[in-house]
Amino acid sequence: MSPRKGSQGRAKVVVEFEGVNKWFGDFHVLKDINLRVRERDRVVICGPSGSGKSTLIRCINRLEEHQEGRIVVDGHEIGNDPKSVAAVRREVGMVFQQFNLFPHLTVLENCMLGPTKVRGLSKAEARDRAMQYLARVRIPEQADKYPGQLSGGQQQRVAIARSLCMQPRIMLFDEPTSALDPEMIKEVLDVMADLAQSGMTMLVVTHEMGFARTVADEMVFMDEGSIVESAPPERFFTNPENDRSKLFLSQILSH
Amino acid sequence: MNLRYSWPPSAWGKALRERAGATAPQASEIARTGAPRVSVRTAATLGRSGRWWNAPWFDTIQFLVLCGALLGLIVSGAMSMGYSWQWYRVPQFVFRVVDGELIWGPLAAGLAVTLEITACSVVLALAIGLVTAFLRLSDSLAGRAVSRVYLEAVRNTPLLIQMYLFYFVLGPIIGLDRFWVGVSCLAVFEGAFACEVIRAGILSVPRGQGEAGDSIGLGRAQVYRHVILPQAVPLMLPPLTGLMVSLIKNSAIVSVIAVLDLTTAGRDIVAETFMSFEIWMTVAAIYLGITVPLSVFMSYVERRVRTCD
């Protein structure tokens, strides 16, 4: 996102989009996307619905395929090579709007599945790690329950813990609070803010502008498949350059 | 593949439930229908509209009268054509006791062969169904085409013709004996339905589940093994039980290639004794004796699955 010349002396680039284009049939969802995310960056992507925000971050771990351009994540180019996709998915955690917890497994088993099957941890190690991250999202007492027995906010925190158990270097959040009741949004945002504090590299698609303002160090505004503006939050919120971003901000900040 | 039996018949079921004092509908029933259909107060004595002709006792009488009329029709018809009933000769074809020793008759032996054929073809049909279902869901164009052609060919030709093709064409080429010709033909036939059941089960697991599995780094096979199949299999069980019921019934067709199954045994006995009424009724009853418990089990599993989620 920042020009190349500023790269020396700063943390290394972990996610890079170069001229990425993607179509769903005839629909051009991503138009010439260029984006660089450095280690420990906290990037918030916002924009009206249908602008391609979710598609953008889903391209990072290949839940969506792009048709043109280059995406490099943690040194691996995302393409048709299943090995590099697998390597990237091990290092990139994702939190979904609909939580997507495994309903047939307990909270603890949800958290242990990845570490045991992908990282090759023993059951005991995986259990310790799972309990550690469940404690971090403040929900260790629910470890033996099934996802269906938890509230939405609790489920989303478990989903965050499940991703963290893989000890990823990058976390993707795809509208993590959009499916939650208002009183549960805060508990999830608090956990995410904690995570940001700890130095995790995060890409967050969200409409929570308060969260964006305090946590993000880069705002990316998308509209109709393009990145229209990217700026540090103080500038983005107080003095947006683009007319489309101004309109968007006036609409969502007016209440 | 409409294989649902209602057992006991609804009239009996209602009467039995009410006699047991279970006037309040079960939780699973509420979940299924949305609201109790019978109001608690009137259900014990009268039907849902509160009229005597909807009452359970009248329902039961209606059912008994219908059964009696059918039976009377058969008996009077048989009498008018001078049919001599020889039911006493039937049990020996199932089993005999000679000097305190049990000897199985041809019908029992036939039943054993029928069950054997069914068991073998169920396993094979599931294997075929699993493979073709994954082919249909795969990204490979050729794989999808192969399974599509297989499905359409099997579903759109008569089973009898398939049996002849297997017996007269495939059998001699591969060198299968008639038992295995029967088994493989039935397996190929039912495999097409198994494929659809398995595919539907897999597709009914929300897409996000697979994506969540992908995102924590599980491989393709691991996603299926640990995430999708554990959720899909319970959904598949009821229709797969139905598939087994249809296999048992369809296995009767092996009699055209002279495999000594239950139907063939029945036909042979009729040819010898001319007791066509008794023997065919007995054969039908034996088939019912296996399929009805399976169907009851199926609806039990179905109810379990529904209340789980």
**Chain A closest CA to B36's CA: distance in Å?**
25
Report the pLDDT averaged over residues B9-17: 47
Contact between A219 and A212 under an 8 Å Cβ cutoff? The reply is yes
This model of the complex carries an ipTM of 0.90
- CA–CA separation, A197 and A57 (whole Å): 21
Instruction: Kindly write down the DSSP assignment for every residue of B239-253, as one continuous string.
Output: HHHHHHHHHHHHGGG
- pLDDT tens digits for B208-261? 999 999 999 999 999 999 999 999 988 898 889 889 999 999 999 999 998 999
Q: What share of chain A in percent tops pLDDT 90? A: 85
**Chain B closest CA to A137's CA: distance in Å?**
18
Which residues, 6 or more positions from B252, have their beta carbon under 8 angstroms from its beta carbon?
B114, B261, B262, B263, B287
Contact between A112 and A126 under an 8 Å Cβ cutoff? The reply is yes
pLDDT tops 60 at residue B6 = no
- CA–CA separation, A107 and A105 (whole Å): 7
Q: Does B139 touch chain A (CB under 8 A)?
A: no
pLDDT for position B97? 86
pLDDT for position A19? 95
Q: What is the average pLDDT value for chain B, to the nearest integer? A: 84
Partner-chain contact A162 B216, CB within 8 Å: yes
pLDDT tops 70 at residue B21 = no
- pLDDT tens digits for A134-153? 999 999 999 999 999 999 99
- pLDDT tens digits for B87-115? 888 888 888 888 888 888 899 999 999 99
Cβ atoms within 10 Å, residue B49: 10
**Amino acid present at B29:** E
- SS3 of A65-117: the string is CCCEEEEEECCEECCCCHHHHHHHHHHEEEECCCCCCCCCCCHHHHHHHHHHH
Position B129 confidence tier, pLDDT thresholds 50, 70, 90? very high
Q: What is the average pLDDT value for chain A, to the nearest integer? A: 92
- Taking every pair of Cα atoms in chain B, the longest distance, rounded to a whole number of angstroms, is 76
Position A29 confidence tier, pLDDT thresholds 50, 70, 90? very high
Partner-chain contact A96 B211, CB within 8 Å: yes
Tell me whether strands A170-174 and A201-205 are parallel, antiparallel or unpaired: parallel
pLDDT for position A156? 96
Contact between A64 and B214 under an 8 Å Cβ cutoff? The reply is no
Half-sphere exposure of B234 (CA within 13 A, CB side): 17
pLDDT tops 60 at residue B201 = yes
pLDDT for position B237? 87
Backbone angles phi, psi at A77, to 5 degrees: -80, 130
Q: For the stretch A156-190, what's the b/e string if a residue is b when 16 or more beta carbons lie within 10 angstroms of its beta carbon?
A: bbbbbbbbbbbebbbbbbbbbbeebeeebbebbbe
Partner-chain contact A100 B214, CB within 8 Å: no
Partner-chain contact A102 B222, CB within 8 Å: no
pLDDT for position B15? 47
The residues facing A204 across adjacent strands are A44, A173
| Joined tokens for residue A195 | 């995570």
* Closest listed residue to residue A110, CA positions, set A167, A161, A184: A161
| Joined tokens for residue B305 | 């699955």
- CA–CA separation, A127 and A113 (whole Å): 10
Half-sphere exposure of B69 (CA within 13 A, CB side): 6
- For residue A90, give the nearest of B206, B217, B227 by CB distance: B217
List the single best residue of B215, B218, B233 to mutate versus A (max A Cβ within 10 A).
B215
pLDDT tops 80 at residue B25 = no
Report the pLDDT averaged over residues B56-83: 91
- How big is chain B by its Cα radius of gyration, in Å? 24
pLDDT tops 90 at residue A187 = yes
CA angle, corner A62, sides to A58 and A63, nearest 5?
Answer: 55
Query: 3-state class of A248 per DSSP?
Result: helix
First to last CA, chain A: 30
CA torsion B237-A102-A173-A114 (nearest 10°) is: -120
Distance of CA A141 to the CA centre of its chain: 26
- CA–CA separation, A20 and A71 (whole Å): 7
Instruction: Kindly write down the DSSP assignment for every residue of B18-32, as one continuous string.
Output: HHTT--SPPHHHHHH
* Closest listed residue to residue A93, CA positions, set A71, A106, A76, A111: A111
**Chain B closest CA to A69's CA: distance in Å?**
22
- pLDDT tens digits for B268-282? 999 999 888 889 999
| B34 torsion bin: left (phi>0), alpha (psi -120 to 50), beta (else) | left
* Closest listed residue to residue A1, CA positions, set A174, A250, A235: A235
pLDDT for position B44? 52
* Sheet arrangement for strand A42-46: A92-95, A170-174, A201-205, A42-46, A218-223, A226-231
Distances (CA, A) of B267 to A52, B98, B182: 69, 25, 18
- For residue A100, give the nearest of B212, B218, B222 by CB distance: B212
Q: Which residue has the tokens 């029709």?
A: B73
Ordered alpha helix ranges (H), chain A: 53-60, 82-91, 107-117, 123-136, 152-164, 182-197, 209-215, 233-238, 243-253
Position B49 confidence tier, pLDDT thresholds 50, 70, 90? low
pLDDT for position A10? 73
Minimum Cα–Cα distance from B228: chain A residue? A102
pLDDT tops 50 at residue B125 = yes
**Amino acid present at B221:** A
Q: What share of chain B in percent tops pLDDT 90? A: 58
- pLDDT tens digits for A59-78? 999 999 999 999 999 999 99
Minimum Cα–Cα distance from A173: chain B residue? B215
* Closest listed residue to residue B117, CA positions, set B81, B153, B163, B54: B163
More confident residue, A100 or A9: A100
- CA–CA separation, B112 and B266 (whole Å): 13
- CA–CA separation, B286 and B305 (whole Å): 29
Query: 3-state class of B50 per DSSP?
Result: coil
